[in-house]
Amino acid sequence: MRALWAAICLLAMPAWADSIEPLAGWAVYPSGKSYESLVEDTKAAVKENGLIVVTQAGPTKAAASRGITIPGNRVIGAFNNDYAVRVLETSTNAMIEAPIRFYVTEEKDGTATLSYKTPSFVFAPYTDEGGEALREIAAELDAKFQAVAERAVK
């Protein structure tokens, strides 16, 4: 009976994975903010920097509805129509990557981290087709995504 009770208690504990580690092509911004605050501040910073929140997805609420507690986890896709048109002028294939995503993750200490793959990294596989124009778009988006991240974690 004790083993069963221990197993039930373990299932009720949050499932914490490791923190986001910078991978090649990633930008990672730890913050002192709560998960909920960083999600809202990221969405506001996206708008402030001339982009649009195109998509949002995360397993946290759906898991909770199933009785499973997991850390806050949200993917926020950002782009705008101007960039979409410009990317399509250089490479139809590259548009599969839009919107480019921010990733907000809750840490064990209650703070949250904002991370993303840099747009230049995301579009790199398409630069043979898209050429210098696509590289320039990616560089513009690199600056915008950095500005969003710096504003959001501030």
How does pLDDT run across 1-36, given as a tens digit for each residue? 544 333 333 344 444 456 677 789 999 999 999 999
Instruction: Catalogue all structural domains in the chain, each as residue range(s) with its CATH number.
Output: 25-153 (3.30.310.70)
Whether the per-residue pLDDT at 50 is higher than 90: the answer is: yes
Six token digits for residue 17: 């994975």
Mean pLDDT value of segment 107-120: 97
Residue 121 confidence (pLDDT): 98
Q: CB under 8 Å to 94, separation ≥6 — which residues?
A: 87, 123, 126, 129, 130, 134
- For residue 52, name the pLDDT band (cuts at 50, 70, 90): very high
Measured distance CA(135)–CA(130) in Å, rounded: 8
Mean of per-residue pLDDT scores for the chain? 90
How does pLDDT run across 129-152, given as a tens digit for each residue? 999 999 999 999 999 999 999 999
Residue 17 confidence (pLDDT): 52
Residue 23 confidence (pLDDT): 85
Residue 22 confidence (pLDDT): 72
Q: Alpha helix locations (H) across the chain?
A: 2-12, 35-48, 60-65, 81-90, 119-123, 127-153
Yes or no: say if 152 and 42 are a contact pair by the CB < 8 Å rule: yes
Question: Of 11-20, 38-47, 49-58, 94-103, which gets the smallest average pLDDT?
Answer: 11-20
Residue 18 confidence (pLDDT): 61
144 phi and psi angles, rounded to 5 deg? -65, -45
How does pLDDT run across 100-110, given as a tens digit for each residue? 999 999 999 99
pTM recorded for the entire structure? 0.86
Structure-token match 């195109």, residue found: 54
Collapsed DSSP state (helix, strand, coil) of residue 139 = helix
